[in-house]
Amino acid sequence: MRNISEVIFKDLGKIDFKKAWEYQEKLFEKIVSVKGQNRDLPPGEQIKIKNHLLFCEHPHVYTLGKSGSENNLLIDQLQLKAKDASFYKINRGGDITYHGPGQIVGYPIFDLELFNVRIKQYINKLEEAIIKTLSIYNLKGERLKNGTGVWLDPETPGKARKICAIGVRASRFVTMHGFAFNVNTNLEYFNYINPCGFVDKGITSLEKEVDAKIDINNVKLVVREKMNEVFEFDKMI
């Protein structure tokens, strides 16, 4: 049985990666702290948990998860600077990925116990929200066996291409980081990494697949709606 799962939604717009990361950490630590306090309180006196869903876009940045290899970044610091890009080692799972303009980055800071889901189910639900979004644009998003994220033609050699990367951190069933959905993303920036550690698979975007520039604000509305549908929020404010 799930508890009440209210979610506060906020679109941060275009924001520096480090600034958004620090903001996530504050929300994350607040939820963890409240959960700790609630363990010592009777049910009628427990503090209400506030879940958060953040959307944003970042300037050009590469992030490397704690299980990733720095060898998957194929350019050096001088080349990064020339590309107006930055690089961070961060505390999520997964390998290296790129964030940049034209990409919807979603950061759910959720207490998974309120949703009655485990981490594997949580990642599955993030993927499902993007798959449902792609269906609105007549695209068949799928999962890759032994991989995360959302793909097109995942099992077809030479055609498999990722459209949404997923990398999360979870502690005490509280999540942070999340997904990066390529809408009008400049895909050239993926040439300078082995995306998510893969060397034999491609990267794509919504714009490339439908062969038209997409209004990213409209896509955000769809993703938000599908997140609500998949996670069955009791309330979003």
83 domain residue, yes or no: yes
How many structural domains does the chain have? Answer: 1
167 domain residue, yes or no: yes
pLDDT at 23 (0 to 100) = 97
pLDDT at 1 exceeding the cut of 60: no
The three state secondary structure string of the chain is CCCCCEEEEEEEEECCHHHHHHHHHHHHHHHHHHHHHHCCCCHHHCCCCCEEEEEEECCCEEEECCCCCHHHECCCHHHHHHCCCEEEECCCCCCEEEECCCEEEEEEECEHHHHCCCHHHHHHHHHHHHHHHHHHCCCCCECCCCCCCEEECCCCCCCCEEEEEEEEEEECCEEEEEEEEECCCCHHHHHHECHHHCCCCEECCHHHHHCCCCCHHHHHHHHHHHHHHHHCCCEEC
153: left (phi over 0), alpha (psi -120 to 50) or beta: left
Quote the pTM value.
0.92
pLDDT at 198 (0 to 100) = 66
Active site residue 196: yes
46 domain residue, yes or no: yes
Catalytic annotation, pick one of 105, 170, 193, 196: 196
CATH number, domain of 93, equals: 3.30.930.10
152 domain residue, yes or no: yes
- pLDDT tens digit sequence for 129-167: 999 999 999 999 999 988 889 999 998 988 999 999 999
- pLDDT tens digit sequence for 6-28: 899 999 999 999 999 999 999 99
- pLDDT tens digit sequence for 194-224: 866 666 778 999 999 999 999 999 999 999 9
Instruction: Show the tokens assigned to 194.
Output: 């082995």
pLDDT at 76 (0 to 100) = 87
Could you give the percent of the chain with pLDDT greater than 90?
A: 71
138 domain residue, yes or no: yes
- pLDDT tens digit sequence for 31-86: 999 999 998 899 889 999 999 999 999 999 999 888 788 888 888 888 988 999 99
175 phi and psi angles, rounded to 5 deg: -105, 160
209 domain residue, yes or no: yes
Q: Which of 93-97, 130-134, 231-235 has the highest mean pLDDT?
A: 130-134
1 domain residue, yes or no: no
The range of the structural domain enclosing residue 95 comes to 6-236
